[in-house]
Amino acid sequence: MRIPALLLVAALGAGCAHGAVGVSSTSAAATAGGTSISTSSSAVALAFVLTFGVIDYVNNPQPFPNPSSFMSPASPAAPEMATSRRVSEQDCSKPVDLTLGNLRCK
């Protein structure tokens, strides 16, 4: 019962600290066995995020959102161009003169 509690304390400590937490016990003539645990905070945090993410997806599966679903369906259409605007139709494969008004490529 002591080792699972020690594992829990090491995991929680690693999640709260920026550094690494290590627990180790070596076998000697007086001890029955040896245990070694080493973890880092980034690995534990990643494991928690992935575990809870999988649990959430299993309980509530949703498809990946389409980018167009973020746009409002009632967005207004672009207004018509004013007839008084100057439009310069030029061959855009050559240098373009931007001082002639709005550009339309041929």
Q: What is the mean pLDDT of the chain?
A: 73
Nearest of 74, 84, 76, 9 to residue 44 by alpha carbon: 9
Reported as a pLDDT band with limits 50, 70 and 90, residue 16 is low
* 88 within 8 A of 105, measured Cβ to Cβ: no
Flag whether 79 is in a domain: no
Flag whether 105 is in a domain: no
Tell me the CA distances in angstroms from 16 to 11, 21, 52, 96, one per residue in order: 9, 10, 17, 60
Flag whether 23 is in a domain: yes
Flag whether 18 is in a domain: yes
Strand pairing class (35-40; 20-25): antiparallel
* 14 within 8 A of 41, measured Cβ to Cβ: yes
Domain housing 8: 2-59
71-91 residue pLDDT tens: 777 777 778 878 888 888 999
pLDDT of residue 17: 47
Flag whether 34 is in a domain: yes
Q: Please state the domain count of the chain.
A: 1
pTM for the full model?
A: 0.26
Flag whether 96 is in a domain: no
